[in-house]
Amino acid sequence: MLNIANREIKKRIELGGDFGSFTETDHGLDIKSDRYTYELKFYSNTIVRIHQVGENKDENPYSVVQEPQKVSFSVEEHDTSIIASSDSLDVIINKSPISFTFLNKEGKVINEDDAGLGIQTQGEQVTVYKKLQEGERFVGLGEKTGPLDRRGKGYQNWNTDHFAYDIEADPLYASIPFYIGIHGNLSYGIFLDNSYKSHFNFGASNNRFSSLSVDSGDMNYYFFAGSVTEIIQSYTWLTGRMSMPPMWSIGYQQCRYSYYPDTEVLDVAKKFRDKDIPADVIVLDIHYMDQYKIFSWDKERFPNPGQMLDALKEMGFEVVVICDPGIKIEEGYEPFTSGKEKDVFLKYSDGSYYEGEVWPGWCHFPDFTNEETRKWWKEMMKSYTDIGIKGFWNDMNEIATWGQMLPENIEFDFEGEGGTSRKGRNIYGHQMTRSAYESAIANLKGERPFILTRAGFAGVQRYSALWTGDNVANDEHMLLGVRMVNSLGLSGVPFSGYDVGGFAGNGQSNLFARWIQIGAFSPFFRGHSMINSHDSEPWSYGEEVEEISANYIKLRYKLLPYIYHTFLQASEQGLPVARSLCIDHAQDDKIYETDFENQYLFGDNILVAPLASDQRYGKVYLPEGEWYEFFTDEKFDGAQEMIREYAIEHLPLFIKASAIIPIYGDVSQNSKNVGSTLELHFYNGEDGNQTEYYEDDGISYDNTKGAFHRRAIQFEPEKKSIRISKASGDFTSKIEKLKIVLHGFDSSDIKNWKGGKLRSDEYAYVRPISNFDPFEKDRRDSLKAENVFITEMDYSNEEITFNW
């Protein structure tokens, strides 16, 4: 009986085949086994693509934007293997059965297929089994729940509408099949470029292998070598990087499901101005539409949308509107009529239109893998852009329908190549977002749009920000959101966030206070709550929380030059805005512990240590180096954990020694009202450091034509020098005054200061809280540094130096 069982298994499972021959190509090798052809292509010295080609080559045309670069490589054939080598990487192709091993130039194994399992096929499913390395950790994989280190977990990629998801739920709305493996002093990345349902096992239920598998299509993946930073840069080079967002989109956005009628929208906007709480955006959820039909307005609730938009513009607000893909089946409804005329809707295999039920009722759905559909969508979107709307929130694009069972026999165009929803489901949100982006770019005639999406796939960062869907108003979701945003950053999506305050359910006042603090240090900063929940604006939880909210929202606006430069790094280098500590401290075991896995760097220099709303005492781990407490300048040695008391208005924040933090000194209303004073905060340290001040108009693409104001800022403690380079670019800066603020310096350190008169002073990033428990008087004025040195002068485009 056992022999019969073994024969049955062999019939069901096929290995990758034995080596037959190979041919050298311009970029690598074509290797033939007795079952498949394997294409090995070097895209750079550190990026290699492995593609097992089946009978009919099946590729995803939407994620990768680069062609292989010209790479010098060598090939050696041995009895049992072939070795293909670039300057940075050796790839061993084992002959029997075909499998792959990746080594660095010191001969250390970075990653290797399990020799006994290798590449296996079961029916349409193809799986690569990778040998687990000693101490190997796994991070990334995009929008996934769970811990920072995914070792011992398994996940699948199948875009799914999952309202109020559990903190261990999988799958969710977006699929980004890219992860980073870390072991010893080595790291690597793997991007599985296949949009069918896929599965990742990081040693779940076994201690032998990790694996990646696809339910259909080709096994096609890219391997990246280097440091974690280099891997992220390589991945985003391959799949594309975001362009600079409009400045208003990185300010505070206020949303509710839903604000209506128009008088309520205007009232919410006016309250922000009356209460002196900055905000840039009011977001309109589905109740602005006529019976939830996209490209329409409810005539009773919003009788004159253009007039409302003009009034909001007068108050300094932009508007973002929700856009769902379902087109209601209704004669006389223009998008339905023109969509049928242009034949843009998804169809079943028998040629009839697919119908699914969602908010408007029974709907057809545009096929965004068809170029003609994308042209039609651009025409439809003019109804928004023509009245001044520049922000578009793509929702329900998994595709979400009632019943959540999208049929698998729906056919997609795939640029004329064809495919079913098995291949198209995961790519649908990506392509809708692409259509929104390209349509807005064309219709806005040179202005930057803001695009937000719920669903997406690898490469979505080129078009859109992404938020983590319908979360829940509790501490677990607040902290999970932090991890998910950090994971998205590791996976190439720098512009992401969560619904601050929680979408579903009713949160308590302390929860909102903590969430607004943490959200101020999220790339995408939006408050949002659902229908039939209590109000969730900054003033909705009492006076104390209102003051805390105002403080941290204003702090966000003060930090705009620091944040904007971080977005510049994302656009130029692919680096995330919110950075998991595993990027800079991959080998530090402490950062993966449950107590510390939520900590992250916001930009280069600000460490955020999120606390739950009921935590009065916070456990914090500071990585190696020296650190300053953000608000008080108290100095700490790194590589230590500590427990400290934190009042509800005090989010644990720390600054790296030698950091340079540019901020605006006088903020009000929105991102256009930031005053004319630039403050440069220097934190004393032993190491030199450099950053940039970057400014452009924040609304157009003229920055790509030289219309920017950019200058390097250097801090060199050994030379006792600060240098601000001459400004480059054609843009005229708004800055008129410059303030230098020195933190952590003794008067003896700077007694020979040259470059303007220094005064000793105190400094506070936030205002003291007036509404607090009178028995806690020690809280008043506690968030300030009492010994800084300040000098002020007129701002100049010429080089500026300070010495001491």
Among the listed residues 523, 602, 547, 528, the one whose alpha carbon sits nearest the alpha carbon of residue 242: 523
Joined together, the tokens standing for residue 730 give 């054609």
Q: How many CB atoms lie within 10 A of CB 4?
A: 8
Spatial strand order of the sheet with 356-358 comes to: 327-328, 361-364, 356-358
Q: Which residues contact 438 (CB under 8 A, 6 or more apart)?
A: 374, 378, 463
* CB 638 within 8 Å of CB 625: yes
Among 44, 66, 191, residue whose Cα is nearest residue 128: 191
Is position 411 annotated as part of the catalytic site?
Answer: no
Residue with tokens 């990087």: 241
Cis peptide before 441 (omega within 30 of 0): no
Identify whether 697 is a catalytic site residue: no
- Exactly one of 470, 604, 626, 633 is catalytic; name it: 470
CA–CA dist 698, 248 (Å, integer): 8
In DSSP notation, 274-340 reads HTT----EEEE-GGGSGGG-TT---TTT-S-HHHHHHHHHHTT-EEEEEE-S-EE--TT-HHHHHHH
DSSP for 487-543 reads HHHHTT--SEEEEET-SBS---HHHHHHHHHHHTTSSEEEE---TTS---STTTT-H
Looking up tokens 């009356």, which residue turns up?
Answer: 274
How many angstroms from the chain centroid is the CA of residue 176?
11
How far does Cα 548 stand from its chain's mean position?
Answer: 26
Active site residue 395: yes
User: Do the beta carbons of residue 664 and residue 675 sit within 8 Å?
Assistant: yes
- From 90, 395, 537, 696, the catalytic residue: 395
Kind and range of the H or E element at 783?
Answer: none
> Largest alpha-carbon pair distance within the chain?
92
Q: Please answer whether residues 513 and 548 qualify as being in contact, where contact means their C-beta atoms are separated by less than 8 angstroms.
A: yes
Catalytic residue of the set 149, 170, 262, 398 = 398
| Cβ contact 620:652 at 8 Å | yes
Name every residue whose Cβ is closer than 8 Å to that of residue 74 and which is 6 or more positions away in sequence: 84, 85
How many C-alpha atoms does 303 have within 13 Å on its Cβ side? 2
Q: What is the DSSP string of 572-622?
A: HH---SEEETTTT-TT-GGGGSTTTTT-EEETTTEEE----TT-SEEEEEE
- Give the span between the Cα atoms of 239 and 63, in whole angstroms: 6
Q: Can you tell me the distance from the alpha carbon of 664 to that of 679, in angstroms, rounded to the nearest whole number?
A: 6
d(CA 587, CA 187): 10
CB-count burial class (<10 Å; 0-12, 13-18, 19+) for 392: buried
**Torsion (CA) 247, 250, 253, 257 in degrees, nearest 10:** 110
Rounded distance between C-alpha atoms, residue 513 and residue 538, angstroms: 9
SS3 for 80?
coil
Tell me if residue 464 falls in helix, strand or coil.
coil
Q: Is the dihedral of CA 207, 208, 214, 220 positive or negative?
A: positive
Which positions are catalytic?
A: 395, 398, 470
